[in-house]
Amino acid sequence: MIKKITGRFRKFHYQKYASLIALALLFIVSSILSPYFLQFQNILNILRQISYTGMIALGQTFVIISGGIDLSVGSLTAFNASVGILFLNYLMKIFSNEFIAMAGGIIAALIMGLLAGSLNGFLITRGRIAPFIVTLGSMAIFRSLALFVGSAGEIRSVSGFYGTFGMNSILFLPVPVFIMLVLTAVLSITLNNTRYGRYLCAVGSSARVAMFSAINVDRIKFIAYTVSGVLVSISAVMLSSRFNAVSTSNMGMGFELDAIAAVIIGGTPLTGGRGTIWGTIVGAIILGIINNMLNMLGVSPYLQGTVKGLVIIGAVYIQRQKA
């Protein structure tokens, strides 16, 4: 009996802190391999790089906990950013006021993300189409629309203020990193301390049981995809403001892989039903450190996808062993 209780205790803590232990070990190994790794500016660069996919991964966490998946986030990033900058440029011609134009462009991008996420949620909940099929189709649609509105090229902002917006700092943290941490705190509270969070986990565990428990399953899933769309828009605004432009063919490429990888590494199983928001951020940081070290060691960037794929497979295998 004592051994059984002790085994459960160890398993509980291993599951809870596995991603943190992996992050600590990765920090130690990276600091040994490169003397430049622990420099403050390098750490900030890693956090800035992962903040864009990190925000997207937060929304992906909600979607995966609900038992779904969203493959459209990368293409939606490019489309939302394109809409935002195009509307910003349009407002600049009318008002010649950078603040109004920038605010209008950001609002337009956020609204488009909300509508796109809602569309995915509607087709999945009301259309009864599998999430994989819906988001795979919308991935192609959003990328095509981004290429169309940008003539398959680059869309540049005419506002210099918009270009500096994403490069500023708040409390010594880059703006995207600060926003990512605020969103993480808000969504963590939502998941762990609200009725919606409990219902989300219940729906992911068993939609049928949740339905018999008087939970509106369709609404819970719809909100999850809508939240994902809005978070993609926030990331798109931050990323486009960093470069003050959008490359309609390249922006967001592979973001869906990075987001899903961060969620899985952070401890959220693809089967849904449970998850952790802060774990997702830890997973994103782990991926960021791996990419940073591969660059420092001179490994070809074409092999980074191989490493991500191996990490995803390893994380899923570990979760399967713990189940």
**Residues 172-182 pLDDT 10s:** 889 999 999 99
Q: Is pTM beyond 0.85 here?
A: yes
Q: Left (φ > 0), alpha (ψ -120 to 50) or beta: where does 298 sit?
A: left
User: Is residue 49's pLDDT more than 60?
Assistant: yes
Give the closest residue to 281 by CA, choosing from 28, 71, 30, 47. 47
Q: Indicate the domain borders of the chain.
A: 2-322
The DSSP H or E segment spanning 154 is: strand 154-156
* DSSP conformation class of 303: G
Beta bridge partners of 155: 246
Task: State yes or no: pLDDT of 237 exceeds 50.
Answer: yes
CA 175 to chain centre: 16
In whole angstroms, give the CA distance from residue 189 to residue 197: 9
Q: What CATH number belongs to 2-322?
A: 1.10.3470
Q: pLDDT at position 306, please?
A: 84
Contact 121, 221 (CB under 8 A): yes
What's the CA gap between 99 and 164, in Å, rounded?
A: 12
Query: Among the ranges 176-185, 251-260, 286-295, 310-319, which has the highest mean pLDDT value?
Result: 176-185
Give CA–CA dist 228/6, Å, rounded. Answer: 39
pLDDT in tens, 7-44: 554 544 555 677 788 888 888 888 888 888 888 899 99
pLDDT of residue 215: 93
Alpha-carbon distances, residue 208 vs 131, 182, 192, 203, 271 (angstroms):
17, 34, 22, 8, 15
**Residue 271's Cα: distance from chain center in Å?**
18
